Amino acid sequence: MRIIGIDPGLLHTGWAIIDSVGPSRHYIASGVVLPPTKLELADRLSFIFQKVTEICETFNPDVCSIEFTFVNKNPKTTLLLGHARAAAIVAVANREIPVFEYEPNLIKKALTGAGHADKEQIYKMLKILLPMAHPKTPDESDAIAIAMTHANMSAFAGLK
């Protein structure tokens, strides 16, 4: 099963592709979508949509794993994050790729065993589990973790 993991964001949308075969996980690629900051909201969303579409066309994932938006202290920030998340989900859904959503604490727990692990703990665990992965940003590292979460959760739940 090929999984695209997405860590949505209006400024930085992390993405990662991994293959999951039985108990084995293989890193394929990862990166960050960076909409130009000078773009208006609608154009940023379009940029995210187009780049995620291109990633899906290039790597042909079977499923998508994406972080579930949690409520921030600032409702406007939460709403904007939701827009970026929706742009990525629609790009994936247009290719008829099933989408699985995971809460941040579940992602941390599935990868490190601790639901409140920090980004450094996540990065260290990724280096152990996927030594070929060399994420350059926290968004990229989070996207790999999100993809790994689906690989691990689907093994237990019998999901495709």
DSSP output for 98-142? -EEEE-HHHHHHHHHS-TT--HHHHHHHHHHH-TT---SSHHHHH
- 19, 54, 139, 140: which one is catalytic? 139
In what side-by-side order are the strands of the sheet with 99-102? 24-33, 13-21, 2-7, 63-67, 99-102
Residue pLDDT, tens place only, 48-82: 999 999 999 999 999 999 998 776 677 888 888 89
- Give yes or no: 67 in active site: yes
Residue pLDDT, tens place only, 122-146: 888 888 888 899 989 989 999 999 9
Domains of the chain in start order, with CATH, are: 2-157 (3.30.420.10)
pLDDT higher at 111 or 40: 40
- 62, 67, 103, 118: which one is catalytic? 67
- Give yes or no: 7 in active site: yes
The pLDDT, as a whole number, for residue 31 is 97
Residue pLDDT, tens place only, 28-37: 999 999 999 9
- 7, 54, 96, 142: which one is catalytic? 7
Rounded CA separation 43/49 (Å): 10
